[in-house]
């Protein structure tokens, strides 16, 4: 499990809320998941760049599910698990 810094909950923009809800729902249904920003972006009508930025911020914060950069092959693969 990755260590997280203490980042205030309010630091994520409102535009990231659907991403957090999406990730929590997927993890609740499937357990730990591996995702790429471009695939989430298609489902949430955001750009993959926005998703990648939000995922990085989530990986550094106490807000939302546990997110860590897992590997890089044609874009970062993120591992997402319970908080």
List the one residue out of 45, 40, 34 whose CA is nearest residue 67. 34
Domain limits for position 22: 14-81
pTM for this predicted structure? 0.80
- Please report whether residue 66 resides in a domain: yes
Q: How far apart are CA 60 and CA 22, in angstroms?
A: 18
pLDDT in tens, the chain (83 residues): 444 444 444 478 899 999 999 999 999 999 999 999 999 999 999 999 999 999 999 999 886 799 999 988 888 999 999 97
Closest CA relative to residue 5, chosen from 46, 50, 53, 59 = 59
CATH number of the CATH domain containing 38: 1.10.10.10
Number of domains composing the chain: 1
Q: How far apart are the first and last CA of the chain?
A: 10
pLDDT digits (tens, 9 = 90+) for 65-74: 999 999 888 8
Closest CA to 78 of 12, 6, 26: 26
């Amino acid at each position: 499990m990755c260590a997280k810094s203490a980042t205030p909950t309010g630091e994520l923009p409102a535009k990231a809320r659907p991403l957090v809800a999406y990730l929590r729902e997927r993890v609740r249904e499937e357990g730990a998941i591996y995702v790429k920003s471009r695939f989430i972006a298609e489902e949430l009508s955001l750009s993959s760049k926005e998703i990648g930025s939000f995922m990085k911020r989530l990986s550094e914060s106490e807000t939302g599910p546990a997110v860590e950069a897992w590997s890089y092959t044609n874009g970062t693969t993120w591992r997402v698990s319970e908080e």
